[in-house]
A and B are shown apart, each in its own frame.
Chain A
Amino acid sequence: MKKVKVMSLISIVLIISMLAACSGGSSEKTSKDDKKLTAWAWNINVPVLEAAAERFKKENPGFELEVIEIGREDVYSKLTTGLQAGGQGLPDIVLVEDDRIQGYAESYPKAFLDLSKYGFDEHKDKFPASKTDLLTVNNKVVGFPFDGGPTGVFYRSDIFEEAGVKAEDIQTWDQFVEAGKAIKEKTGKPMLGLDLNNDDGLYRMMMNQQGSLYFDEKDELTLSSQESMNAAKVIKQLKDEGLVKNTVGWDAWISAMVSGEVATAPSGAWLTGSITGQGKDTSGKWGVIPFPAFEEGGNRASNLGGSNYVIMNSTDKKQEAYDFLEFFSTDEETQLEAMKGGLFPTLNTIYDEPIFTEKQEFFSGQPIWSTFTAQMDSIPSVNYTGNYSLAMDESIKAQSESVSGKKTMKEAYKAAEKRLENRIK
């Protein structure tokens, strides 16, 4: 009988240790009573949130915010897991990017708090329409606008100078291609780095610029539309003329720019943070011009990237979370701090602050921020839809086939549209 006793002893110890671990409990359950809020965010957003919380605390004693720093991709892994498990283990506040938010809001209609019920509408005109439209899903306002990605072409002024090309003269994509040819001829350097097989950022910016993305406002596919062909044509042209350096992945792309291997990078305003951070030695060798248009005098405003704060419906501190984020989103000091970290605020009440007209040393004395604020009101609203990820997957394939010449441009995009239709039904 002795052995049985020993074994049951072991089992008991095991069970007790399990129970002990259970009673350790999860922090979000134990903190139910107090006013402490939890937020998930990445990178530069963390100190911005924390500083804002400090200021908010002065007016609201007892308020507390715990910001948990999580990698950008990791936030989505955790958010998806929590939502799939029916709203378990989620914080009160989450940072979600523009291109993801509609996907979540449509796939999980009950995930995010409807802010219009809490009075968000009074702040609507403080943000560009492109942003508030994005955040309105099925007549609900699902998030607070935070930063945006008004686009521009970042360029290496040293390379342009060497080639004798004036960046300011580039008004259209045709001129952009021509400038690229001249630079290639004089310096041997490609015009831009693109990850043609894995990313379609340039295509998306061009589509947004022309008023839609993968879907128009009626949810119709646009991959084979005229706009799409315009965009794809420029990309194919750039590639065919040898103006594209194929950079695979983010690291290589940034690297190509700061090491001066490519002349330009069409991108969102937030790229400022990356190039000033990674290329400290290249100060004074940069400039920014607005996005080229498809025809003379055409729209030059577009958007790439940006993020928003959502309140999870699973929280029991909805009002507290709303009050804080309302403060956060409309507080000018907060937005200016975010700017220091390279984020471009969408709160338009601050665009008259001095920083927006200040000359930036890094960009050869150019007041780059005004280039971006100038276009905020002209950025077309875009319908991302819940099928954005699927659409992007197909769009990238179409781009890859189109530039490699495996299929003609039209065929490639037609085929992708067809595949996409099958995948979303």
Chain B
Amino acid sequence: MSQTRIIPYLFIAPAVILFLVFTAYPIFSSLLLSFQTFEAGEYSFTGFDNYVTLFHDEIFHKALMNTFIIFIVQVPIMLILALVLSSVLNSGLLRLKGFFRVSFFLPTVTSLVAYSILFSIMLQEEGIINTVIGFLGIEAIPWLSDSFWAKASIILAMTWRWTGYNMVIFLAALQNISNDMYEAASLDGAGKIRQFFSITIPQLKPVILFAGTLSTIGTLQLFDEPFNLTKGGPADSTMTLGLYIYQNGFEFFQFGYASAIAYIVVVLVGILTFIQFKVAGDR
């Protein structure tokens, strides 16, 4: 019996050792760093100075606000799109499912080098996106140079990149809802849309929550899009927490300050995830 008690520990041992060395130690070390300030090549302990500075840092506040706006707008749009796409793909009427599935998943695997070049060309004022909407009679949009539209561009680009990822997660879950439920519903006279809201969504709730949590983590650490498309501009309107951490560390050499921001992010992700679970749980 004592032997079986050891077994699970042996099973998790490799993971725990790797975790302690390569994850926990750096995290702890950067936590220490967040109480230090870098001056002329040396670090010195300055207590909560970084956190106090953070409290008064306007750019940080802006980054917080921007990240929050992007989070509130982008995550629901993306999850809804992913839900719609996966439901359509799942609805038996179609040919070429595999083809569509791969195509929608493709954006997730783009290399960042290509992503930043292509999107910055497409989003120019005379770029292809404005040309297309011009055909629809819409005036050219200053995608990257207006503070409202720059945020919209970030949201668009993120949605393009990650919808397919979530779609695949949902698609998988959809396979698991038994046909009987839909049949019963349609016998009761419920239309497709009713079925979607009364069967599909409730059945998918745990998965939606799972995808929501992943997206929350992703959004609060958001870095690639603003870094490659707007550099946080115009006037910090697309500055995000992830980008601000990077800038403070790699451009201003204030890794202590950068770490402090990172820990604020951790607390926020924790709170938001908790809220998501609460909201989902109460329904």
Interface residues of A (CB under 8 A from B): 1, 3-4, 7, 10-11, 14, 76-77, 80, 84, 103, 106-111, 196-198, 245-249, 251-252, 255, 261, 389-390, 393, 396-397, 400-401, 404, 419
A109 to B14, CA, bound (A): 41
Contacting residues, chain A, for B7 (C-beta < 8 A): 3, 7
Q: Known: A196-B145, A198-B234. Contact between A7 and B120, CB under 8 A?
A: no
Q: A111-B41, A196-B234 are in contact. List 19 more A-B contacts (CB 8 A).
A: A3-B7, A3-B10, A76-B250, A80-B250, A84-B253, A84-B255, A196-B145, A197-B144, A197-B230, A197-B233, A197-B235, A246-B125, A252-B120, A252-B124, A389-B251, A393-B247, A397-B235, A401-B235, A419-B58
Give the size of the chain B interface in residues (CB under 8 angstroms).
Answer: 35
* CB closest chain-B residue, reference A104: B253
* CB closest chain-B residue, reference A246: B145
Contacting residues, chain A, for B262 (C-beta < 8 A): none
* Contact status A107-B253, CB under 8 Å: yes
Contacting residues, chain A, for B231 (C-beta < 8 A): 198
Partner of B253, one of A80, A109, A261: A80
Partner of A14, one of B14, B236, B252: B14
**8 Å CB interface, B221-246 against A:** 229-231, 233-236
A327 to B277, CA, bound (A): 66
Contacting residues, chain A, for B236 (C-beta < 8 A): 397
Q: Known: A107-B41, A419-B58. Contact between A252 and B121, CB under 8 A?
A: yes
**Nearest chain A CB to B41 CB, angstrom units:** 5
**Nearest chain B CB to A235 CB, angstrom units:** 15
A89 to B6, CA, bound (A): 40
* CB closest chain-A residue, reference B9: A7
Partner of A11, one of B14, B120, B145, B251: B14
* Contact status A7-B10, CB under 8 Å: yes
A404 to B149, CA, bound (A): 15
Contacting residues, chain A, for B38 (C-beta < 8 A): 107
Q: Known: A4-B3, A4-B6, A197-B235. Contact between A110 and B121, CB under 8 A?
A: no
Partner of A248, one of B117, B145, B250: B145
* CB closest chain-B residue, reference A8: B10
* CB closest chain-A residue, reference B6: A4
**Nearest chain B CB to A356 CB, angstrom units:** 35
* Contact status A77-B250, CB under 8 Å: yes
* Contact status B41-A400, CB under 8 Å: no
A236 to B10, CA, bound (A): 68
**Nearest chain B CB to A219 CB, angstrom units:** 15
**Nearest chain B CB to A26 CB, angstrom units:** 18
* Contact status A197-B14, CB under 8 Å: no
Contacting residues, chain A, for B235 (C-beta < 8 A): 197, 397, 400-401
* Contact status A11-B250, CB under 8 Å: no
